[in-house]
A = this chain, B = another copy of it.
Amino acid sequence: MSRLDRSLISGLAPFQGLTAVDLNRMVGQAHSLRIAKDEAVFEQEGEAHSFFLLLDGHVRVIRTTPDGQQVIVRYISPGELMGIAHALGRTTYPASAIAAVDCVVLAWPGRLWPEFAAAFPDFGANTYKMVGSRLQDAHTRVVEMSTEQVDRRVAHALLKLVNQTGRRMDEGVLIDFPISRQDIAEMTGTTLHTVSRLLTAWEEQGLVKSGRQKVTVTEPHRLLMLAEGRASKT
C-alpha cells in the first residue's frame, strides 16, 4: 500500500474517527487487489475468508435462488465495505459480489475482524451503523416491493442509482457504470422486457435517455414525481 492510498482512505466513512496511527495499522494488514470486470470478489455460500473495502469501481451484490434466478441486492460504491460476513456472525458469504467494471479492492483476512472491532471501537461503530442503514434499506425495499407497482419501483431504482453513483453530464445525470435492462429488472423484481418498455416510454416523455448498457436521467425531478405517484402523465 502506498502512502497515497492511505491519505485517500482516511476520509472514508468506515474510518471516521480513527487516528492516523490506527488507520496505518489497519491498512498495513490489508492487501490490495484488482478484480477484472465480471469477475467475483466473493461468492455466495463460499467460506468467508476475507472482508473488503472497495477502493475503485463498482460492485454488484447478487443473490441467486436455488432455481437459478438472480436478484441484485445492492451496488457497492467506492469507499464502502463489503463481504463483512464476520461482523454478522456468519462464516459464509450470503451473496456473491461481481465487479461491474474493473475494480480495486482492499482485502483483510476475516480472522482480523474481531481484533479490529476490539482495537478500533470507532471502526466497529461505523460498521454497525452502516449495517443498520442497510437493514433500513432492505426493509424499505420490502415495503416498496409489497406496495408499489413496477413502474414506480423502476423509477425509484434509477433515482437511487443516480444519487449513489450519478455523474453530471450535459444532458442529465449518467449512471456511472454499464447497466443492462436485465440488471434493472433484477433490482426491481420484474423482467427485462418490462424495463425496456418503461425506458422507451420515458424516453419519449423526455425523462431519460438510454442506450446500450447506459442510462442517463435527464429530468430527475419529473422522474421522482412519477416514482412518488403524483404522475404528470404528460
Chain A interface residues toward B at CB < 8 A: 63, 65, 67, 69, 71, 73, 87-90, 94-95, 118, 121, 125, 128-129, 131-136, 138-139, 141-143, 145-147, 186, 188-189, 229
- B71:A147 contact, CB within 8 angstroms: yes
Chain B residues with CB under 8 Å of A125's CB are 89
Interface majority SS (helix, strand, loop, mixed), chain A: helix
Chain B residues with CB under 8 Å of A145's CB are 142, 145-146, 189
Give A68's nearest chain B residue, CB to CB: B147
- Provide the bound-state CA to CA distance between A65 and B140, in Å: 10
- Provide the bound-state CA to CA distance between A73 and B138, in Å: 10
A138-B139, A147-B189 given; 19 more Cβ-contact pairs under 8 Å: A63-B143, A65-B147, A69-B147, A71-B147, A73-B142, A87-B132, A89-B125, A89-B128, A89-B129, A90-B136, A118-B121, A128-B128, A131-B135, A135-B138, A138-B138, A141-B142, A142-B142, A142-B145, A145-B189
Assembly stoichiometry (copies): 2
Chain B residues with CB under 8 Å of A94's CB are 136, 139
Give A64's nearest chain B residue, CB to CB: B143
- Provide the bound-state CA to CA distance between A95 and B142, in Å: 13
Give A94's nearest chain B residue, CB to CB: B136
Closest Cβ–Cβ distance, residue A75 to chain B (whole Å): 14
- B131:A132 contact, CB within 8 angstroms: yes
Chain B residues with CB under 8 Å of A134's CB are 135
Residue in B88, B132, B141 whose CB lies within 8 Å of A89: B132
- Provide the bound-state CA to CA distance between A67 and B229, in Å: 10
Closest Cβ–Cβ distance, residue A164 to chain B (whole Å): 17
- B139:A95 contact, CB within 8 angstroms: yes
- A88:B128 contact, CB within 8 angstroms: yes
Given contacts A142-B73, A143-B71, A147-B65, contact A133 B189 (CB under 8 A): no
